[in-house]
Amino acid sequence: MCVTGYFRPGELLRLRRCDLIPPATQVMPAWCVPIAPEDLDVPTKTGSFNDSVTMDSAYTTFLNPFFKVMAKSDDKARIWKFEYPEFVGCFRKATDKFNMKGVVPY
């Protein structure tokens, strides 16, 4: 999701169940994910709120069933159960394993 949607890691780590916007017939054929929902009071890098990314890449279609299950609730709980340091630790392990030192998750 980070790569395909050009998300900053923190933007995705703040993603809540209620933020997943399902496809709508004849309007938007793919799931949408908001960046910086105004109610969280955390703007994007450029200072805006309520931007969104359409998850219509062929690389993210495997996520559609996941989105469908997660969006069944208007729950404001975060989707991911880990924080940024844990994310970065796993990312570093993966880049080290594949000898990709210096690659960062941005």
The 10s digit of each residue's pLDDT in 5-26 is 888 888 889 999 899 999 998 8
Cα–Cα distance measured from residue 89 to residue 47, given in angstroms and rounded to the nearest whole number: 28
Contact, 19 vs 34, CB < 8 A?
A: yes
**Residue 98: what pLDDT?**
94
Question: Side chain identity at 86, as an amino acid letter?
Answer: E
The rounded mean pLDDT for the chain is 89
**Residue 28: what pLDDT?**
85
34 alpha carbon, distance to own chain's centre: 8
Q: How many CB atoms lie within 10 A of CB 55?
A: 21
Give the pLDDT band of residue 92 (cuts 50, 70, 90). Answer: very high
What tens digit of pLDDT does each residue of 27-68 get?
888 999 988 999 989 898 899 999 989 999 888 889 999 999
pTM above 0.75, yes or no: yes
Query: What one-character DSSP code corresponds to residue 49?
Result: -
Give the pLDDT band of residue 90 (cuts 50, 70, 90). Answer: very high
